[in-house]
């Protein structure tokens, strides 16, 4: 009798535990998902950010708060609010969430856009979020803050891609702090060394682009456009995309007239006077300008560039499956090479880049 009673009690308890587990899994991130959905309904990017920050203040769940800080940082970065984005990413990185909590967030096949965004934000571990913060700090010319983040626990990472980015960003901090051409010598030596290391393959386009940009290294440009033709860095060199007008790239010191031969009107518009002004520009002044320096509006987002049309079509199909209206444009270069570019038009709210990135697609703005 007692045995039957205990067994029955055991199964009742087990049923309740399993039921609670199911509800717990379904409720993970619910608050963040609701906030993301409502933020996307706002009329402007500014209102979206304002709404998200108001929700974060009242959020009690660490998991939801981390998702919202990461998402807010993504929107702020897309809006060129780099200082604010850096702060948001750093705050997200500083919020402790257990692996069990992360695993409890299960993405269904028929997940809504906001659920996919929340899932992608949660997939970013603390190291990735710290590096996001570093990148944004560099984009607003704040190498001091960037270095402080690089000297955090992110250095304990064993991930080869994380380590590669740390090494790259350390050199970019040096570029940000350079006062004269002679300050570039050691950085160029290191960039050349990294360009030959297999362990740096994940950031190779950025390494080669940096060499070309600061020293007019044509061999680096040739390798970049030949080996990585679909990269954003390659499309900037060939003139297919425009360089983002961030303080980092505007004020960095370059050897001689490093952009004289660049086939890029946006890059060519950077005068030598602006390059020299890094010596007198204050960090706060640079940061204040970072959110409003664009004189042109983004017209479209480039998501990919391919030598084969079938590869471009695969990406276009993936985009369409996620709800993006992607088109493929054919371009014939002066060399005779033909490329197929995957494009998504900017939307009225100006947040298409943010939507693409949070959906897992790399993209680059096109201003004309």
Write out the chain's pLDDT in tens, 368 residues: 444 444 444 333 333 344 333 333 445 678 999 999 999 888 888 899 999 999 999 999 999 999 999 999 999 998 889 999 999 999 999 999 988 888 888 888 888 889 999 999 999 999 999 999 999 999 999 999 999 999 999 999 999 999 999 999 999 999 999 988 889 999 999 999 999 999 999 999 999 999 999 998 999 999 999 999 988 898 888 877 777 767 788 778 888 644 334 333 333 333 333 222 222 222 333 333 344 344 457 788 888 877 788 888 988 998 998 899 999 998 886 667 777 889 999 888 888 887 887 777 777 777 66
- Using only C-alpha atoms, the chain has a radius of gyration, in whole angstroms, of 23
Task: Give the orientation angle of helix 160-177 with respect to helix 143-150, to 10 degrees.
Answer: 150
Residue 368 confidence (pLDDT) = 60
247 in Cβ contact with 140 (< 8 Å): yes
């Amino acid at each position: 009798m007692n045995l039957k009673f205990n067994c029955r009690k055991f199964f009742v308890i087990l049923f309740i535990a399993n039921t609670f587990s199911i509800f717990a899994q379904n409720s993970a991130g619910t608050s963040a998902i609701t906030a993301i959905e409502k933020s996307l309904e706002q009329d402007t990017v500014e209102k979206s950010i304002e709404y998200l920050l108001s929700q974060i203040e009242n959020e009690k769940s660490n998991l939801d708060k981390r998702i919202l800080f990461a998402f807010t940082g993504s929107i702020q970065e897309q809006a060129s609010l780099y200082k604010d984005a850096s702060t948001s990413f750093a705050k997200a990185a500083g919020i402790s969430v257990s692996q069990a909590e992360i695993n409890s967030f299960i993405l269904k096949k028929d997940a809504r856009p906001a659920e996919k965004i929340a899932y992608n934000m949660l997939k970013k571990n603390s190291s990735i979020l710290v590096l996001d913060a570093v990148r944004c700090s560099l984009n607003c010319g704040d190498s001091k803050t960037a270095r402080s983040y690089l000297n955090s626990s992110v250095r304990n990472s064993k991930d080869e891609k994380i380590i590669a980015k740390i090494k790259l960003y350390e050199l970019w901090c040096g570029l940000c702090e350079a006062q004269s051409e002679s300050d570039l010598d050691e950085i160029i030596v290191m960039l050349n060394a990294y360009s030959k290391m297999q362990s740096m393959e994940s950031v190779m386009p950025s390494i080669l682009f940096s060499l070309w940009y600061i020293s007019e290294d044509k061999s680096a440009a040739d390798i970049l456009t030949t080996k990585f033709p679909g990269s954003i860095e390659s499309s900037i060199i060939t003139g297919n995309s425009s360089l983002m007008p961030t303080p980092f790239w505007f004020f960095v010191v370059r050897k001689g007239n490093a952009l004289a031969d660049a086939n890029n009107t946006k890059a060519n518009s950077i005068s030598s006077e602006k390059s020299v002004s890094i010596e007198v520009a204050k960090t706060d002044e640079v940061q204040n300008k970072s959110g409003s320096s664009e004189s042109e509006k983004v017209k479209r987002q480039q998501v990919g560039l391919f030598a084969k049309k079938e590869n471009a079509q695969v990406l276009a199909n993936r985009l369409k499956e996620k709800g993006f209206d992607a088109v493929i444009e054919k371009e014939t270069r002066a060399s005779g090479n033909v490329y197929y570019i995957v494009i998504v038009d900017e939307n009225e709210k100006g947040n298409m880049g943010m939507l693409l990135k949070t959906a897992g697609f790399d993209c680059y703005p096109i201003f004309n």
